[in-house]
Structure 1
């Protein structure tokens, strides 16, 4: 029996939640918000898994499982021409930047507010 799932931190809510397939009537692949955050931190921001796991307040092993699931879902959507719906997951918006201003999303928000 798995233990209680730990709440994962994300830097901010995502504005864009749907990517539509080019062809009407195609299916959608669901990606959870914590999966997208893992992709963003590791693949877009270039963080190593240890740093990304710390930012999300989870273990490196948990981050790795989330990352593998997210990459599989994205590959499936791309190869099968599916749309992507981003929703759900066990997450909360971090009460402050946990990545110490190293991520592009946090730097951009600070620059916009100055």
Structure 2
């Protein structure tokens, strides 16, 4: 019997869920929410994999597998001229984000700690 999947923590829901290339008709790739969150933390926020894994409450190995999958899909979309759809995955929005690190996603911790999304 397989193990229950562990929910991955994400800071906040992403506002933009579909990206379309100039030339339509080449199809779409689908990034899961946790794949985009892993890329956001490592590539956009500049965290190392250990820190990102702690934020998402998963092991570093799991984060690395998610990150490799996300980067492969992103490269495929860019090289093949495909659109990107953000949907699905096994995740939950964290009730208290670690935004004392000045998260670029939810902007909490920048001006005031009580600023809402």
Residues 30 and 87 of structure 1 are in contact (CA less than 8 Å); yes or no, is this contact kept in structure 2? yes
How many residues are treated as equivalent by the alignment?
A: 113
Residues 55 and 99 of structure 1 are in contact (CA less than 8 Å); yes or no, is this contact kept in structure 2? no
RMSD value over aligned CA atoms?
A: 1.9
Which stretches in structure 1 are left out of the alignment for 5+ residues?
none
Displacement of 1:25: 1.3
Q: Which structure is higher in helix share? A: 1
Please give the TM-score of this superposition, normalised by the length of structure 2: 0.88
Please give the TM-score of this superposition, normalised by the length of structure 1: 0.90
Distance 2:108 2:19 in 1: 23
Bigger shift: 21-30 or 39-48?
Answer: 21-30
> Could you tell me which residue of structure 2 aligns to residue 12 of structure 1?
12
Q: Which has the higher contact order (CA 8 A, sep 6+)?
A: 1
> Could you tell me which residue of structure 1 aligns to residue 59 of structure 2?
59
> Could you tell me which residue of structure 1 aligns to residue 81 of structure 2?
81
Give SS of 2:67's match. helix
Displacement of 1:99: 5.1
